[in-house]
Amino acid sequence: MTAERPSAPLFNRLALLGVGLIGSSIARAARTQGTVREIVATARSAATRRRVAELGIADQVVETNAAAAAGADLVIACAPVGVCGEIAREIAPHLKPGAVVSDVGSVKGAIVRDMGPHLPSGVHFVPAHPVAGTEHSGPDAGFAELFVGRWCILTPPEGTDQAAVDRLAAFWRALGANVDTMRPDHHDLVLAITSHLPHLIAYTIVGTADELAEVTRSEVLKFSAGGFRDFTRIAASDPTMWRDVFLANKDAVLEMLGTFNEDLSKLTRAIRRGDGEALFAHFARTRAIRRGIVDIGQDSPAPDFGRSHPQLPAEPLPRPYAASSDD
Ligand code: NAP
């Protein structure tokens, strides 16, 4: 891990309200990096409480958000966006004065709207979104390195205590993230195009393929390396989380979807008219965008074989394909 360890814990007690992929990754990273003295987590079901205890990623696992938040210096809601307002209402009477209250939701306008009004004055509300994840869910899916080299976007409401914002930024940096600050509505517009729309397209295309006839469907699966495989990975993302994202970021997603549909129509027209020049110009522009992403270190230039360690077949290839020692 390349993150810098703070010389002393940044917070005494961290409460994680929800220990799925993101909550359990924060727990693992915060412990590895020594950013907090104690971690308390909420898990509503007995089975999850047992699992979190077995994994040993929190010092205490409690049943309610109120119990976890009581006495905590940093409280992070790590649950789907749609329940965060209710969580804020539940924890409000139990918050310690001076506590920093945050979240990890993929939409920020709705979080500010739903959580903010419940929180008492005297606590510092600093919403956050670590732009890092996988298609897996639950406490077993998390890992300490998830945030390394990724961005965490803070969207503090106007007038938020700067010292609280700085402390939360230091927390995320200690977990390996780069930190940026934005207005919530700007965050939602940016993420609509970089994350929400790509997920919607993946959900659509995988659903469309599934509606094809049985014979075609088996060919879709067999030849899925041709781009489709990447869509299936994205389309395996958590249904609750993504339902909430589209409900909560409706306006920005619809705006981006309008622009996307116009561009799709242009490409459709170019294909119909056999306009190779237009297609080439478009693909050349998008290739340059991909190179830009690699250049700023947000992805690797290595070819994606769809397997982390592509291997040659264990059995020797039959002649004439196998090279022999007397060749
Ligand atoms: P996850 O693995 O499904 O975990 C969500 C957790 O929230 C579950 O443990 C669930 O517990 C818990 N939960 C649900 N309702 C709750 C409530 N009322 N009180 C306390 N806990 C509750 O999901 P995740 O991927 O970690 O996503 C969590 C948040 O992170 C979402 O807001 C999402 O937008 C954001 N996020 C996700 C990603 C990603 O790629 N996955 C990336 C960045 C941000 P039960 O098992 O008891 O239901």
* Window from 25-29, 218-222, 227-231 with minimum mean pLDDT: 218-222
Q: What is the pLDDT of residue 243?
A: 97
Q: How far is the CA of 129 from the centre of ligand 1 (A)?
A: 13
- 74 CA to centre of ligand 1 in angstroms: 18
- Residue-wise pLDDT for 56-67, tens only, equals 999 999 999 999
| Mean pLDDT within 41-47 | 95
Residue 291: which pLDDT band, with cuts at 50, 70 and 90? Answer: confident
pLDDT of residue 299: 76
22 lines ligand 1 (CB under 6 A): yes
Q: Confidence band (pLDDT; 50, 70, 90) for 322?
A: very low
pLDDT score of 324 more than 90 = no
Residue 69 Cβ contacting ligand 1 at under 6 Å: no
By most ligand atoms within 8 Å of CB, the mutation choice from 24, 62, 78, 146 for ligand 1 is: 78
Q: What is the mean pLDDT of the chain?
A: 89
Q: What is the pLDDT of residue 241?
A: 95
234 closest CA partner among 204, 256, 261: 204
pLDDT tens digits, 297-306:
777 777 655 4
User: Residue 126 and residue 172: Cα distance in Å, rounded?
Assistant: 12
Between CA 92 and CA 243 the distance in angstroms is 26
Residue 135 contacts residue 17 (beta carbons within 8 Å): no
What tokens does 250 get?
């409706």
pLDDT given at position 306: 46
CB 44 near ligand 1, within 6 Å: yes
Which range (160-169, 194-203, 313-322) has the least confidence? 313-322
**pLDDT top residue among 27 and 231:** 27
pLDDT of residue 219: 77
Q: Higher confidence at residue 224 or residue 73?
A: 73
pLDDT of residue 307: 47
Angle at 73 between CA 66 and CA 80, to 5 degrees: 50
Alpha carbon distance 89, 118 (integer Å): 5
Q: What is the mean pLDDT of residues 95-101?
A: 98
What is the DSSP track for 138-167?
SGGG--TTTTTT-EEEE-PPTT--HHHHHH
The fraction of the chain above a pLDDT of 70, given in percent, is 90
pLDDT band at 229 (very low <50, low <70, confident <90, very high): confident
Confidence (pLDDT) at 157: 94
Q: For residues 153-181, give the mean pLDDT.
A: 97
